[in-house]
Amino acid sequence: MADLQSTLKRKPEGPLRLGWTTGACATAATKAALTALITGAFPDPVEIRLPRGQMPQFALSVKTLGENQATAGIIKDAGDDPDVTDKATIIATVTPARPNSGIIFKAGKGVGTVTRPGLPLDVGEAAINPVPRRMMSEVCKEICDKYSFPQDLVITISVPDGENIALKTWNPRLGILGGISILGTTGIVHPFSCSAWIHSIHSGIDVARAEGASHVLGATGATSEDAAQAIYHLPDYAILDMGDFVGAVLKYLRHHPIDKLTIAGGFAKLTKLAQGEMDLHSSRSQVDKTFLWTIAKNAGLNQSFKHFIENANTAKEVLDIATKEGIDIATPIALQAKHVAEETLRSALVTVEIIVTDRKGNILARK
């Protein structure tokens, strides 16, 4: 994502156009390459199913068929989002693997490798996140089943100039070296325009009030939204398109209250709220490890862990350390985040609930 100034410069007139994640592009390229490997022909355009059922089509920009190898590439279209990976070529090369080896993911040129703990991938793994891996695995199973082809494959994802693109992201700081990450939980890039997004939040609250809603949900992402919805099953009009803009939700509800607000998010995002941050995007706020150490210490973590906590790579690593020691730090984070939210609402008659989830959508704390 670009900074606010460049975002506003790029904002077009009229409705903002959606785009596709690197994960969606990698999945489509994988489907095209595997199909060509088996049949000798590339589907172009190639259609995939996204996690929430959409069926977009992608034109191929790269088609190469060799002996026991096929390569397909797609130029990423980020829509009206000023994403640093917009127009990058996402390339998938598929080759057969040894029998019974399953699907193996590899980082090609321009895709990063994980070198530090605390991420949803093990050290040494290609920086291809879990949802894109699942999407690619599912499409491979579908094709292999169709053609009775062994589901033992090596999928190598590469991105020309990915090393340079990654320098504009948080990857180097996180220890993801050599290129970008292949990301996305829904496959869709929602245009990141602060003014447009905040306007949509305000409109969402207005609609919810007009519908007589007594309870609304603001989630930082699809995983935490699904976790909260598994509890409440709220109607669509009660789901706010909050994303990282928790401050926009709280400040608008201050003057346009609804009886109850549930804020759901991952541990790292809600740690930022607990710190007092109102914009949870990684380019504009960071987790304070000293703050986390204070939370962990007060929860009972031994003083000997101070150095490890304050020098941890990510909030997840801190959470993992505390969990391993039997210390619950999600609950005090939820309580502090609730306090910050209530302070921001001031005297508005809104009951606040905080739901903290892990990356898989398991609820870690609910206060």
Q: What per-residue confidence (pLDDT) applies to 63?
A: 97
Tell me the one-letter amino acid at 329.
Answer: I
Q: What per-residue confidence (pLDDT) applies to 188?
A: 84
Instruction: For residue 244, give the 3-state DSSP assignment.
Output: coil
C-alpha–C-alpha distance, residues 216 and 93, integer Å? 44
Comparing CA positions, the residue from 75, 87, 97 lying closest to residue 29 is: 75
Q: What per-residue confidence (pLDDT) applies to 192?
A: 57
Complete DSSP assignment for 266-327:
EHHHHHHHHHT-S---TTT----HHHHHHHHHHTT--GGGHHHHHT-SSHHHHHHHHHHTT-
> Could you tell me the fold of the domain covering 19-189?
CbiD-like (3.30.2110)
Q: What per-residue confidence (pLDDT) applies to 14?
A: 57
Q: What per-residue confidence (pLDDT) applies to 13?
A: 55
E-assigned strand segments in the chain: 19-20, 46-47, 57-58, 62-66, 69-75, 89-96, 103-107, 110-111, 113-114, 153-158, 176-177, 179-180, 188-189, 215-219, 239-240, 260-266, 351-357, 363-366
Comparing CA positions, the residue from 213, 266, 222 lying closest to residue 241 is: 222
Residue carrying the six token digits 């210390």: 327
Residues lower than pLDDT 50 in the chain: 1-11
Report the half-sphere exposure of 107 (CA within 13 A, side-chain side): 23
- pTM of the entire structure? 0.70
Domain range annotation of the chain = 19-189, 194-366
